[in-house]
Chains A and B, each alone.
Chain A
Amino acid sequence: MTTTDTHPTPAAGSTAAPPTDPPSTDAARSGARPSASATARLRLAWRQMPVLAALRRQVRADRPLLGVPVAAAMHVSTETAHLMVTLKDAGARLLLHPSNLGTLDPAAVAELRRRAIRVNLPDTGSAPLTEQLAAFRPRLLTDNGTLLTACADVPELAGDLLGATVHSRNAERTARALAAAGRLPVPVIPVADSVLKSAVETPAGTGQSTVHALVRATGVQLGGKRAVVVGYGTAGTGIARYLQAMRCRVTVVDTSAVACLRALADGHAVGALDTVLAEADIVVVATGTRQVVTDRHLDLLPDGVLLGNIGHYPDAIDVPALTRAADRVTALGGGVHEYLLAGRSVFLLGEGSQLNHVCAGGNSSETMDLTLSLHVLCLLHLVRRPDDLVPGLNPLPDSFSETVARAKLRALGHVA
């Protein structure tokens, strides 16, 4: 990526920095992607996170985490980099452990390094995580489950820990199991429980990013297409709604009768996976489970179908089975592969991993602003109000979601 920007990063707090120049008309006319500088992209993303930016201004003044070691396990993206920088501005010492090396954003890594925030990459000296944590002695964690598990193996760390925020169901399960076994009796706050995630971030964020990924990766015209959404949880509900808005004919598949009834009432068709695949133009798997589309479905996939997964598990679509069955696999670029199955072409988006991440930029910074801001509020809560918390999972205080929603509304120019 060519760096043309002469203003590497906004001065701390200047989140209202002017956006970068628009693309040249030549680039716009030719359809070529303008060369955006990495830092400019980062700056734009941060500008789209006004709640976190406001928190950052506040903590920069108060320094509520002065000298507190905070270890984080998350995807390394422009958005989480903004969280790290906010924590650093709050005075924290940081260790960031990427939860997935495949999703590392180089611009985010560069920016974090420039700000002397330690990112735990394999090339930076590879002591095992437990040893690194033993040396770092974190007092706070913001975690996908990895750090809690590692800390439980280092008994002397438990006494230091004030607690953790977690951002996945998986991490919640880990926290619950550890607390039940008495192995790491520290308070844990599950940020993913926020109504902001279930009512705004997931349906709007994932709904939009999935539609975006489908269009960007394949150029498909969505109007009139028959789309099958497998799984009608918060993500599936949002995706079905966005596809419906793009004038797809949506059929929902779910193993829960309540979910099917909800889908019907929302105006979608419902059907069994085996029955609806044959008519599908687009299939999006949005379940929280594994092995949803497997070898027994491959004969049912029609020629030309676009197939992708948005769920947590990369094996929700059995890609190895698809590969075994294919006469030929062709990489088409943009995260799309064509599998030739007995004369039929199946287009797999994102190689079975979350297609909105692989084929587009993931959820918008604007929606991620909400839960990342909740992390900050929860980490401060762990420091300030330890007596209000019990070991194991604690409920996310409702008032935090209210506070973040209010700040977001204000930033969007609405009364609140």
Chain B
Amino acid sequence: MVEPIDGGAVAARMPVLARLAREFATDRPLAGRRVAAALNVTPEATALVRVLLAGAAEVLVVSSKPTTFDPAAAEAMGRLGARVLPGPDTAKEVLAFAPDLVVDNGSVAELWAAEPDPPAVVGGTVHSQHALGRVRRAGRLPFPLYTVTESAVKTTVETAHGTGQAALRGLIDAGVQIAGKRVLVVGFGVTGRAVADYLRGCHARVAVAEVAPVPLLQAVHLGFEVVGLTTGLATADVVVTVTDAERVLDLDHLRLLPDGAVLGGIGHAATEIDRAGLAAAADRVDPVPGGRRYRLAGRHLTLLEGAGGNHVFAGINPPELMDLSLALHALCLARLASTGPPPAGLHPVPAEVDARVARTKLAVLGLAGVLP
């Protein structure tokens, strides 16, 4: 029996990691390995740290960003036996730690690319599209990284359905009745598709705007109305942006929206919707549930935001889903420690790692019997 940890309510919703913790405690796959993990210091991440420690690793947690730093989670990680660097300016300590394995948000790759003679790293994982972008831009990558963010489990289950549900929740939290609303979803990647699907499921009338023809054609064949951005904005009650671009909606776009429109961003860039421009141009701003209400040339627009003013209004994925990708990290690290690492560079998550996480999840759902 594994001791409950702080954030027990969260841990209870992460059964895959709980199983892995038990297995790692027996097999000790990370014995003698130093793991540097650049993570959002949250109760969910604590569950991953517990697995790494159970696997007998020495763990250094580097806070990914101050806005997500949860002191209670940091304390829990410390109590479990990890060292936590709240940051900023962690470079020297990370280099001195000389990790064998890393969970990277991009900062480790940047650090190693910039350093003339960095310590050798066996390999690691990279955990978001944003992090992946940082790694790609960092230049020379002297060790292998598994791209957890692009794994089948992460994209088709966690990202899609997590964000689909979170978008609905964010809108409902803000007091929006979904049924019958004309919703414009801007961006039709895996996540945009899920958001559109969930909204349609709640009886919104969903239109899709997208700049790439292939996803747009897919949207047509899934029965969505497809529109040009400016056309769609003019009749939208609700706009959700789900892109990886900046400045998708600038002030000129926002001026097209009808009075009373509600909009929110889920994409990667804080500047996906020009909030600063809107704030500067508005002649009145009032806080409302879930965000702020702006008066722009006589019309009212509500721009949703996440906790602490985060640009992502929908909040993070539920722990049940983060359970999956965090488990992928743990298993990728165990694999790097036990088998010869692949060559330096980015690599897809091995199919058997994806399969093991999916199999474990099915087992905790009581569905182990569906597989041969």
Q: Is B2 an interface residue (CB 8 A)?
A: no
* Cβ contact within 8 Å between A258 and B354: yes
* Cβ contact within 8 Å between B216 and A195: no
Q: Interface range on chain B: under 10, 10 to 19, 20 to 34, or 35 or more? A: 20 to 34
Give the shortest distance, in Å, between B230 (CB) and chain A (any CB): 10
Chain A CB within 10 Å — which of B212, B213, B228, B358 has the most? B213
Q: Is B217 an interface residue (CB 8 A)?
A: yes
Q: Is A402 an interface residue (CB 8 A)?
A: yes
Give the shortest distance, in Å, between B214 (CB) and chain A (any CB): 4
* Cβ contact within 8 Å between B217 and A405: yes
A265 to B361, CA, bound (A): 12
Q: Is B153 an interface residue (CB 8 A)?
A: yes
**Interface flags, B55-89, vs A, CB<8A=1, else 0:** 00000000000000000000000000000000000
Stretch at the interface among A68-76, A151-159, A267-275: A267-275
B-side contacts of A414, CB under 8 Å: 216, 220, 226
Stretch at the interface among A104-112, A139-147, A174-182, A249-257: A249-257
* Cβ contact within 8 Å between B367 and A270: yes
A74 to B161, CA, bound (A): 39
Q: Is B160 an interface residue (CB 8 A)?
A: yes
Q: Is B369 an interface residue (CB 8 A)?
A: yes
Q: A257-B362, A264-B365 are in contact. Are A405 and B213 (CB under 8 A)?
A: yes
**Interface flags, A372-416, vs B, CB<8A=1, else 0:** 000000000000000000000000000001100110110010111
Q: Is B359 an interface residue (CB 8 A)?
A: yes
* Cβ contact within 8 Å between B217 and A200: yes
Q: Which residue of B lies closest to A402 (CB)?
A: B213
* Cβ contact within 8 Å between A405 and B216: yes
Query: Which residues from 338 to 358 on chain B have a C-beta closer than 8 Å to any C-beta of chain A?
Result: 354-356, 358
A402 to B361, CA, bound (A): 36
* Cβ contact within 8 Å between B157 and A409: no
* Cβ contact within 8 Å between A272 and B214: no
Q: A402-B214, A409-B217 are in contact. Are A257 and B226 (CB under 8 A)?
A: no
Q: Which residue of B lies closest to A403 (CB)?
A: B213
* Cβ contact within 8 Å between B213 and A265: no
Main secondary structure of the interface of A (DSSP, over half): helix
Q: Is A16 an interface residue (CB 8 A)?
A: no
Q: Which residue of B lies closest to A259 (CB)?
A: B358
Q: A257-B362, A260-B367 are in contact. Are A409 and B216 (CB under 8 A)?
A: yes
B-side contacts of A257, CB under 8 Å: 355-356, 358-359, 361-362, 371
Q: Is A248 an interface residue (CB 8 A)?
A: no
Q: Is B168 an interface residue (CB 8 A)?
A: no
B-side contacts of A101, CB under 8 Å: none
* Cβ contact within 8 Å between B218 and A200: yes
Give the shortest distance, in Å, between B146 (CB) and chain A (any CB): 16
Give the shortest distance, in Å, between B369 (CB) and chain A (any CB): 6
A-side contacts of B372, CB under 8 Å: 255, 272
Query: Which residues from 189 to 232 on chain B have a C-beta closer than 8 Å to any C-beta of chain A?
Result: 212-218, 220-222, 226-228, 231
* Cβ contact within 8 Å between B370 and A261: no
A346 to B234, CA, bound (A): 55
**Interface flags, B226-245, vs A, CB<8A=1, else 0:** 11100100000000000000
Q: Is B310 an interface residue (CB 8 A)?
A: no
* Cβ contact within 8 Å between A258 and B355: yes
Q: Is B152 an interface residue (CB 8 A)?
A: yes
Give the shortest distance, in Å, between A414 (CB) and chain B (any CB): 5
Q: Which residue of A lies closest to B229 (CB)?
A: A415
A253 to B359, CA, bound (A): 14
Question: B217, B228, B370: which contacts A260 (Cβ < 8 A)?
Answer: B370
* Cβ contact within 8 Å between A199 and B214: yes
B-side contacts of A415, CB under 8 Å: 226-228, 231
**Interface flags, A349-370, vs B, CB<8A=1, else 0:** 0000000000000000001000
Question: A261, A265, A405: which contacts B214 (Cβ < 8 A)?
Answer: A405
A-side contacts of B371, CB under 8 Å: 255, 257, 260, 272
Question: B214, B355, B356: which contacts A195 (Cβ < 8 A)?
Answer: B214
B-side contacts of A255, CB under 8 Å: 371-372
Q: Which 4 A-B pairs have the closest CB atoms?
A: A257-B358, A405-B213, A257-B359, A406-B213
**Residues of B in contact with A (beta carbons under 8 Å apart):** 152-153, 156-157, 160-161, 212-218, 220-222, 226-228, 231, 354-356, 358-359, 361-362, 365, 367, 369-372
